[in-house]
Amino acid sequence: MKTIDNLDFSGKKALIRVDFNVPLDEHYHITDDNRIQGAAPTIKKILNDGGGVILMSHLGRPKEGPTEKFSLKHIVKHLSDVLGVPVQFADDCIGEETKAKAAALKSGEVLLLENLRFYKEEEKGDRDFAEKLATLGDVYVNDAFGTAHRAHASTAVIVQFFPKAKYFGYLMAAEVGNAERVLNNPERPFTAIMGGAKVSDKLELIAALLDKVDNLIIGGGMAYTFVKARGGEIGKSLVELDKLDLANDLVKKAEEKGVNLVLPTDSQIADEFAPDSPAYNGPNDEIPADKMGLDIGRESGEHFAQVILASNTILWNGPMGVFEMDKFAKGTKAVADAVVAATERGAFSLIGGGDSAAAVSKFGMTEHVSYVSTGGGALLEYMEGKELPGVKAINE
């Protein structure tokens, strides 16, 4: 893997694709700066070498071109604090003014470009747009794992303009390295924990994991599709009725491949989808018609924890219940506790981005697992065995 350690950036201008798609509150304050912190070591290494840094990113999903809400100018101050240097801002990612700013950039200076997605050409993977971006720097670095599964102008198409000057940043290298460790070289037993709302989002991943894992734990809303497929009564719990056959197929495949498929046996059964709803612990195949399961139950949490504690490699993606509501976060917490305990004992634990990362952060456990990925969709696609365009473009 060709990382930035292979180059002395002194006197060079590095054009770095970062993923600064950070959550902002209504006052444009960053509520979680993990992605900025994640890219900081790459930026600092290049600055310390004596290079100049031009940063490009997207923020949100602007539909109508430039929009105040999605401007990257809101992160300039925080980014300057994190990097310890004042960050300059170009209020367009291409164009003459931006070109002039990039040309005037000196060693040790940082220029942040405005949101790439203000141009629809970015997501379309437009070649001309990519070429315009490419003129701004003389070395290309990709440190945006969160968008590596997209063949966009700035993540993949642009790389053709840097045939001999393309590198992975540290974050990207760590993400890919950890995903590979889990996929290709897991110390056994290897346990995958899948949760979240929908089984349909993770079908391909579950199918791919059945060839890799020793144990597959399924919790969260998606588990009810499996319970229903077996003929259980699940009341008003989340279910995908068109996926019942598929759920049964997965159960059969797991048996054929000798994978220990672990499903919840009990649930926290609530009257309604609300943080203060009355709820009781009961069997998850006997949920009354007017009630719904919002979390795995105590017995399931204990059983899941036993399997996790006996594992040496753990991959976790998706919460065990509606963890955003404290009353229904206990199952997710039980799993998080077990992952932390297994990690302390020497297991390697990789936490998928998105909601699982949010859950681990909510419980203050980010520092106590082996690695929390910054990529939700990208990690899932990598784990499904797909080649990520952003990775492929640099490896070619």
161 vs 328, which CB is nearer to ligand AMP?
328
Q: Which residues bind ligand AMP (CB under 6 A)?
A: 196-198, 201, 220-221, 238, 293-294, 318-319, 321-322, 324, 354-355
Distance between CA atoms of residues 352 and 318, nearest Å = 8
Verify cis geometry, omega within 30 degrees of 0, for the bond prior to 189. yes
Question: Of 35, 101, 132, 228, which residue is the catalytic one?
Answer: 35
374 token code pair = 């910054």
How many Cβ atoms sit within 10 Å of the Cβ of residue 51? 26
Distance between CA atoms of residues 150 and 390, nearest Å = 7
Distance between CA atoms of residues 18 and 56, nearest Å = 6
Question: Of 99, 198, 236, 327, which residue is the catalytic one?
Answer: 198
Distance between CA atoms of residues 350 and 342, nearest Å = 12
Residues 6 or more apart from 298 whose CB is under 8 A from it?
266, 281
| Whether 198 is catalytic | yes
**Type of residue at 323:** F
| Whether 377 is catalytic | yes
Distance between CA atoms of residues 126 and 128, nearest Å = 6
End-to-end CA distance of the chain: 11
Helix (H) or strand (E) holding 101: helix 96-104
| Whether 164 is catalytic | no
14 vs 322, which CB is nearer to ligand AMP?
322
Q: Is 260 helix (H, G, I), strand (E, B) or coil?
A: strand
Q: Give the CB-nearest residue to ligand AMP.
A: 196
- Per the CB < 8 A criterion, the answer to whether 219 and 194 are in contact is yes
84 token code pair = 């310890």
Residues 6 or more apart from 103 whose CB is under 8 A from it?
none
DSSP E strands, 38-138: 52-56, 87-90, 110-113
Burial class (CB in 10 A: 0-12, 13-18, 19+), 185: exposed
16 vs 383, which CB is nearer to ligand AMP?
383
Question: Of 108, 177, 377, 385, which residue is the catalytic one?
Answer: 377
CB of residue 82 vs ligand AMP: minimum separation in angstroms?
A: 28
Question: Of 195, 354, 376, 390, which residue is the catalytic one?
Answer: 354
| Whether 137 is catalytic | no
How much is the CA Rg of the chain, to the nearest whole Å? Answer: 23
381 token code pair = 């696609």
Taking Cα atoms as reference points, which of 353, 387, 378 lies closest to residue 145? 378
387-390-391 Cα angle (round to 5): 55
Active site residue ranges:
35, 198, 354, 377
